[in-house]
């Protein structure tokens, strides 16, 4: 029996249990319980990320962060539910007519089951970002979760979006909104020879490591960048978000950089690096399903490494900005390759060593799937890079 079927069975039992509880409590008591639950839970959603941001020991560990936040929100919610239930029970005792009581019970079952669906959606979305592809895939394949995802209003998703963005693993933005399965198109395995080709090796001179420090974030960030024009580096916005100091490390020099473009919606940034000697990379054209490519970068803050890739598909991805607050639509490539933290902002290269995209995320469900922004998506930022001169604000920190 698959994980998604087991999950569906558990969720059906959970929703039935909540529905029965609502029937016993009735509408009046249930409403007061739910108001208490969501009032206290929303307070936790609003305050916990800000409180925990001061504790790097919690925020730097994905599993610890997710566990503490879920327990905190649900715990606060249960406290509010208990207090609301006590008040609702007092009021319900005054409903003496049997016919009114029966209607009150039926409506209570419906309301509590719907509210439980919202709780399931919230926790399911949080667990899906835990960095476990098996769990994420089970969540995505679950029929119950798919139904719940269609029931939850878009406005509700907006309310919880920034909180779920704080939960998000490894600082990557949410590529696809909701809980639907990622559209992972099967293709042949990448050709290992591509990563070793002369053209790809030559392009490596123009790929740099980007490191940042931030007092407000209480940590540093690492990523990859590539030379657009002499002295101008392209990377991801989530790599430099909240940064007080940015440095670029090339093959033989380390230099300070200024952020001159910061686009949290696309997840792009442009750095000005005076004195950088690395040559610019050439821009390529569109790539299509089955095309070979390469992903150079500095995964896991390690040394320079290149992995081969193959294009799965070009997609219009409806997701969230780097803070998990605003809905965005990005034109992206889905890639058969391994993307790790540290690859963020690196170029997607065609077999001639030309830039055809910018790496920005990895799949929640499949370790062999990563995502890159297409050249069409990044073109407005590239066009603005030449005239961008003044340093810009790098926004708030992101989880990661």
Verify that 154 and 201 share a domain, yes or no.
no
pLDDT in tens, 339-395: 998 999 999 999 999 999 999 999 988 889 999 999 999 999 999 998 898 999 999
Residue 105 sits in which domain range? Answer: 3-167
What integer is the mean pLDDT of 229-247?
94
pLDDT per residue over 214-226, tens digit each? Answer: 877 767 789 999 9
Q: Which of 121-135, 173-187, 269-283, 341-355 is predicted least confidently?
A: 121-135
Note the pLDDT of residue 182: 86
Query: 73 vs 29, 30, 88, 210, 291, CA distance in Å?
Result: 21, 19, 22, 35, 45
| Angle of CA points 131, 135, 139, to nearest 5° | 115
Please give the Cα distance from 186 to 105 (Å, whole number): 49
User: For the domain that residue 242 is a member of, what is the CATH number?
Assistant: 2.40.10.120
| Residue where one domain finishes, among candidates 134, 167, 200 | 167
Tokens of 210: 């980007």
pLDDT of 79 higher than 70: yes
**pTM for the model:** 0.68
Give the pLDDT mean for 324-343. 93
Arithmetic mean of pLDDT over the chain: 82
The verdict on 206 and 63 lying in the same domain is no
Confidence of residue 41 (pLDDT cuts 50, 70, 90): confident
Look at residue 313 in the predicted model and tell me its pLDDT: 97
The Cα 377–Cα 370 span in angstroms is 16
Give the gyration radius of the chain's Cα atoms: 24
How far is 280 from 203, CA to CA, in rounded Å?
Answer: 9
Question: Within 13 Å, how many C-alpha atoms sit on residue 275's CB side?
Answer: 11
From the CB of residue 261, how many other CB atoms can be counted at a distance below 10 Å? 20
270 and 388 Cβ atoms separated by less than 8 Å: yes
Residues 227 and 288 in one domain: yes
In a domain, 340, yes or no: yes
pLDDT tens profile 85-129:
788 777 766 655 555 667 777 777 787 777 777 777 666 665 555
Number of domains in the chain: 2
Q: Which of 74-88, 181-195, 261-275 comes out lowest in average pLDDT?
A: 74-88
């Amino acid at each position: 029996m698959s994980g998604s079927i087991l999950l569906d069975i558990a969720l059906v039992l959970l929703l039935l249990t909540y529905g029965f509880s609502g029937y016993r409590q009735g509408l009046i008591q249930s409403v007061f319980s739910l108001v208490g639950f969501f009032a206290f839970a929303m307070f936790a959603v609003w305050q916990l990320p800000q409180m925990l941001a001061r504790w790097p020991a919690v925020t730097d560990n994905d599993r610890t962060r997710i566990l503490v936040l879920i327990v905190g929100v649900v715990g606060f919610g249960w406290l509010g539910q208990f207090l609301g239930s006590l008040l609702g029970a007092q009021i319900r005792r005054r409903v003496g007519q049997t016919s009114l009581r029966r209607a009150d019970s039926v409506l209570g079952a419906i309301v509590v089951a719907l509210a439980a669906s919202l709780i399931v959606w919230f926790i399911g979305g949080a667990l899906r970002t835990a960095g476990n592809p098996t769990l994420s895939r089970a969540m995505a394949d679950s029929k119950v979760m798919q139904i719940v995802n269609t029931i939850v209003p878009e406005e509700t998703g907006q309310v919880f979006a920034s909180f779920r963005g704080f939960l998000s693993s490894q600082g990557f933005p949410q590529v696809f909104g909701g809980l639907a399965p990622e559209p992972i198109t099967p293709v042949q395995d990448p050709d290992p020879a591509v990563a070793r080709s002369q053209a790809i090796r030559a392009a490596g001179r123009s790929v740099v490591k980007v490191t940042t420090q931030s007092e407000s974030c209480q940590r540093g960030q690492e990523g990859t960048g590539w030379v657009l024009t002499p002295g101008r580096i392209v990377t991801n916005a989530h790599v430099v978000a909240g940064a007080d100091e940015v440095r670029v490390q090339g093959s033989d020099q380390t230099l300070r950089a200024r952020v001159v473009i910061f686009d949290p919606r696309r997840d792009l940034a442009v750095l000005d690096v005076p004195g950088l000697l690395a040559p610019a990379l050439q821009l390529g054209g569109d790539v299509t399903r089955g095309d070979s490519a390469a992903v150079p970068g500095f995964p896991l803050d390690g040394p320079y490494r290149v992995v081969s890739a193959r294009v799965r598909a070009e997609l219009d991805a409806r997701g969230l900005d780097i803070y998990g607050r605003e809905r965005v639509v990005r034109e992206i490539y889905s890639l058969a390759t391994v993307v790790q933290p540290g690859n963020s902002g690196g170029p997607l290269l065609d077999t001639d060593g030309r830039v055809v995209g910018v790496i920005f995320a990895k799949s929640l469900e499949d370790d062999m799937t990563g995502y890159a922004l297409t050249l069409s998506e990044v073109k407005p930022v590239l066009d603005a890079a030449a005239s961008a001169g003044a340093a810009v604000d790098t926004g708030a920190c992101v989880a990661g």
